[in-house]
Chain A
């Protein structure tokens, strides 16, 4: 699993309604977030790479998706250090993992959060 389900349940315990709402927001908007990073990497825009990766990192943190969060952090650091070489490949790897994460979240039974 690409997210820690125990931590996620603890994070949203008693607030399944809130979890379902922000999960829906995330599923709807994740591709836009990934595309922002991809565009930044393609255009060697280090500043935008840093900002867009930072944004995604924060969201992944809320969903307790540590491994992908680390990948987003690496991209954020690359942007901060003005190193864009290799950023596109990393972003494509991130995108694959993101799709997998979304599938897992869609199938996740959140009833234990009640």
Chain B
């Protein structure tokens, strides 16, 4: 498994060195930058698993850096943990509302910081697996839906065509047309799901689900 990559945005050279050396020693890959502009450049060039972001930075303040990053990356895509000095009037609620995942008060012992970082990294992983599972379930439901809704009229159409051929009677073709129209209707409903913003499912057989078509 590859090391997790962390970006530290911190203008305090001593504290950032404490954190970067401590994290590297414990198996993280670390990049350190001193301000928001450098942070944006790094995030553009490289993929990070987590960012440690100081609230008080030169040029662009930490809250503005956070806001800008959140325009592109959700808390589940890129966890951001704020770093604050103990004496700051640190409005935790404000930063969490802006999209920070958590915060640490410096000087925080490296093990405490890592515990909080790992919690966020685990949540990202959990969310990723949950999304994959949901996608797979939806795909399965779609396959079941196609099989159920389309298979029946297809069977009817097939049967009617055979009857028409055997009895050489065009009257059966009306039934074929009905079945094909029914199939076309189902296909159209399934296409419209794309614009509906979501799918709801109904129970099918043996714990499986199919997609509910209006």
Contacts and interface: CB of A to CB of B under 8 A. Distances in A.
A59 B107 CA distance: 9
Contact of B14 (A22, A64, A73): A22
Contact of A22 (B18, B25, B109, B110): B18
A78 to B, nearest CB: 14
B22 interface: yes
A63 B58 CA distance: 22
B108 to A, nearest CB: 9
A99 B22 CA distance: 27
Interface in B51-87: 56, 58, 85-87
Interface string B19-54: 001100100000000000000000000000000000
A55 B15 contact: no
Prevailing SS type, chain A contact patch: helix
B58 A59 contact: no
Interface stretch (A10-18, A90-98, A100-108): A10-18
B11 interface: yes
Contact of B107 (A18, A55, A64): A64
B12 interface: yes
20 contacts: A11-B107, A18-B18, A18-B22, A18-B25, A21-B17, A22-B18, A25-B13, A25-B14, A26-B14, A29-B13, A51-B58, A57-B85, A58-B14, A58-B85, A58-B106, A59-B12, A59-B14, A61-B85, A61-B86, A63-B14
Interface of A: 10-11, 15, 18, 21-22, 25-26, 29, 51, 54-55, 57-59, 61-64, 73
Given A15-B25, A18-B17, A18-B25, 9 more contacts: A15-B21, A15-B22, A54-B56, A58-B15, A61-B107, A62-B12, A62-B14, A62-B107, A73-B87
Interface of B: 11-15, 17-18, 21-22, 25, 56, 58, 85-87, 106-107, 109-110
